[in-house]
Amino acid sequence: MSYVIQGETGDWELVIGLEVHAQITSKSKLFSGSATDFGAEPNTQVSLVDAAMPGMLPVINEHCIEQAVRTGLGLKAKINLTSVFARKNYFYADLPQGYQISQYEYPVVGEGEVILDMPDGSTRTVGIERLHMEQDAGKSLHDQHPSKSFIDLNRSGVALMEIVSKPDMRSPEEAAAYVTKLRSILRYLGTCDGNMAEGSMRCDVNVSVRKAGEPYRTRAEIKNVNSIRFVSQAIDYEARRQIDVYEEGGEVVQETRLFDAAKGETRSMRSKEHAHDYRYFPDPDLLPLNLTQDYVEAIKAGLPELPDEKKARFIGDYQLSPYDAGLLVAEQATADFFETVAKGRDPKLACNWVMGDFAAAMNRLGRTIEDPPVSAANLGGLIDLIADNTISGRIAKEVFELMVETGKAPADIVAEKGLKQVTDTGAIESSIDAVLAANADKVAEYRGGKDKLFGFFVGQVMKATAGKANPAMLNDILKKKLS
């Protein structure tokens, strides 16, 4: 069923397209040799090129070209062997050149696609319109002084990829899934770290609404949304706002809006006297960028296994559900961790532990998959102990918590604490006999038809054996004794 918002005049459909600015992972800037590290002291990573001093000339960073091409290939997109850098002219205090070097008519990457993994396990394809390289601007701080803005040019000239989707998304959920998947692909490729909090990935969201079957109506562009959750929130708010405008007899104007995360609303940016007129033209300081097919093929040959392929392999090799496989492959490190745990073991059990108790402990302790609360080898060892009946699944949870606490290997913990499962029929029988003898009245009630008491007996025996009785054996023997 497609997503609609009910208005007073009927159902409204959403049309969403995204422009994602992704910072290219590189040591130095797109056209200068200054550093790109996040959080440096202001203006310490600025060359005279980035500061746009007269006479300075841009020289392109070859690694950034490779990263852009790699990203294009990861998006199954057409690579344009000739692309052209253009100047996008506008004035702003944090843009010292007075123009941004970007690509306009001839971007380095053309049409591609991203496959969305929806929470219900289904997939949807969203088209990519283009990807081009461009420079980032500096950073303005407006809250440091009553009448001045503070400018830091450290970001000025940092390489960005602008990745433009087709207007193929129809719900806030799809837009969130798109950003999530794009981020995952970029991280697999190593072309962008996807850190939205540090601004390595920013989204401009284009939203319009329409009645079913209509052509596109006027869209609004929401600038610089910096988290996946805010993308959904901004779309939901903006769509409802546009519906209200139409239903009150008004018209939506094409404009740029800001998302105010604190208030959860979008606001019109003060409308300019003159509409933007960027007067793009080819940058005379830069020759066209020519690539060879061999160059592209060499990069293609070095691509890693990407999330979609990995997901398909996990479903095929490990018999995981599309949902589980999708979650495991979202981060490459998680997928690697899972594969280490699953190697030579029951993959479904490995998946349950990685996504269950392990993920919960990781979140609770604020750890990461790179710095896990329990190593993959130890988690695998724990699963081995369950598989060979040394411990029950219930005791395993206890052992797991001790592993988190102490960092010890599961076998050592089981030995130290004497947690080895009791699988000796005689020992279980005698525990059962003792419990039944001590609760003769309840035995009579059970035999009188009160079936629910079975659980009580199991509990008592478990208590008597400190939880170590093999649950399956306990059930069997108890059933026989009570019948």
Burial of 377 (0-12, 13-18, 19+ CB in 10 A): exposed
Question: How many Å apart are CA 206 and CA 238, to the nearest integer?
Answer: 10
Only one of the segments 37-45, 317-325, 327-335, 453-461 lies at the binding site for another protein (rule: CB under 8 A); that segment is 37-45
Is the CB of 62 or the CB of 371 nearer to another protein? 62
134 binds another protein (CB under 8 A): no
Is the CB of 157 or the CB of 167 nearer to another protein? 157
Is the CB of 117 or the CB of 152 nearer to another protein? 152
148 binds another protein (CB under 8 A): yes
42 binds another protein (CB under 8 A): yes
Is the CB of 88 or the CB of 311 nearer to another protein? 88
Provide the residue count of the chain.
483
371 binds another protein (CB under 8 A): no
With beta carbons less than 8 A apart as the criterion, state whether 469 and 462 touch: yes
23 binds another protein (CB under 8 A): no
User: Of 292, 97, 71, 229, which Cα lies nearest the Cα of 160?
Assistant: 71
With beta carbons less than 8 A apart as the criterion, state whether 467 and 394 touch: yes
Is the CB of 71 or the CB of 165 nearer to another protein? 71
Binding residue (CB under 8 A) for another protein from 92, 302, 303, 393: 92
Residues 296-325 contacting another protein, CB under 8 A: none
Q: Please, where are the H alpha helices in 439-482? A: 440-447, 453-464, 471-482
Only one of the segments 35-43, 343-351, 387-395, 472-480 lies at the binding site for another protein (rule: CB under 8 A); that segment is 35-43
450 binds another protein (CB under 8 A): no
Residues 221-280 contacting another protein, CB under 8 A: 269-270, 274, 277, 279
What's the per-residue H, E or C state across 4-27? CEEECCEEEEEEEEEEEEEECCCC
Binding residue (CB under 8 A) for another protein from 161, 289, 327, 374: 289
User: Of 103, 126, 131, 105, which Cα lies nearest the Cα of 191?
Assistant: 131
Binding residue (CB under 8 A) for another protein from 35, 315, 427, 443: 35
Question: DSSP per residue over 232-282, as a string?
Answer: HHHHHHHHHHHHHHHHTT--PPP-EEEEETTTTEEEE----SS------EE
102 binds another protein (CB under 8 A): no
Is the CB of 43 or the CB of 226 nearer to another protein? 43
Question: DSSP per residue over 83-104, as a string?
Answer: E-EEEEE---TT-TTSEEEEE-
Q: Find how far residue 154's CA is from the centre of its chain.
A: 27
Is the CB of 84 or the CB of 306 nearer to another protein? 84
Strand partners, 267: 258
Is the CB of 9 or the CB of 254 nearer to another protein? 254
Nearest approach, Cβ of residue 207 and another protein (Å)? 19
349 binds another protein (CB under 8 A): no
Only one of the segments 91-99, 204-212, 389-397, 419-427 lies at the binding site for another protein (rule: CB under 8 A); that segment is 91-99
50 binds another protein (CB under 8 A): yes
End-to-end CA distance of the chain: 53
With beta carbons less than 8 A apart as the criterion, state whether 350 and 341 touch: yes
Is the CB of 156 or the CB of 233 nearer to another protein? 156
81 binds another protein (CB under 8 A): no
Question: How many Å apart are CA 352 and CA 343, to the nearest integer?
Answer: 14
Nearest approach, Cβ of residue 43 and another protein (Å)? 4
* Residues lying near another protein in the complex (CB under 8 A): 26-28, 32-35, 41-51, 59-65, 84, 89, 91-93, 140-142, 144-153, 269-270, 274, 277, 279, 282, 286-290
